Amino acid sequence: MNEKANIFMMSNQKYFATDKLYEISERLNSMSDEQIRRFTYVEFKDPVTYLLISIFIGELGIDRFLMNDIGMGILKLLTGGLCGILWIYDICTIQTKVKEMNYAEFMKVV
């Protein structure tokens, strides 16, 4: 494994779903050091931070606004998270959604 790719994987694996790590690793191994260096400038979102935001102020839709899901953010804001139902759903699924967003961001840079 390329040394820079290995360093990237060790420091950023928490931002991606485990089923995507192998594919990310393979893509990084096929890149040059310069291409891998581009990824040091990409800021991936931390799933744990989003979970905490969702737990504490998710009923206001802040978590959805941060994920650029403006429509659902407004819905949660106006309805109190659909009387708590959407709020609970988001608490259960927010980490997966953030990891998918990070993967999509990774694929854009590739």
Q: Which long-range contacts (CB under 8 A, 24 or more apart) does 24-28 make?
A: 24/103, 24/106, 25/1, 27/110, 28/2, 28/4
pLDDT of residue 1: 54
Which residue type, as a one-letter code, is found at position 18?
A: T
A 10 A CB-CB count for 33 gives 10
**pLDDT tens series, the chain, 110 aa:** 588 888 889 999 999 999 999 999 999 989 888 888 888 888 999 999 999 999 999 999 999 999 999 999 999 999 999 999 999 999 999 999 999 999 999 999 87
Domain count, the chain: 1
- Domain encompassing residue 78: 3-109
Residues in the chain: 110
pLDDT of residue 109: 84
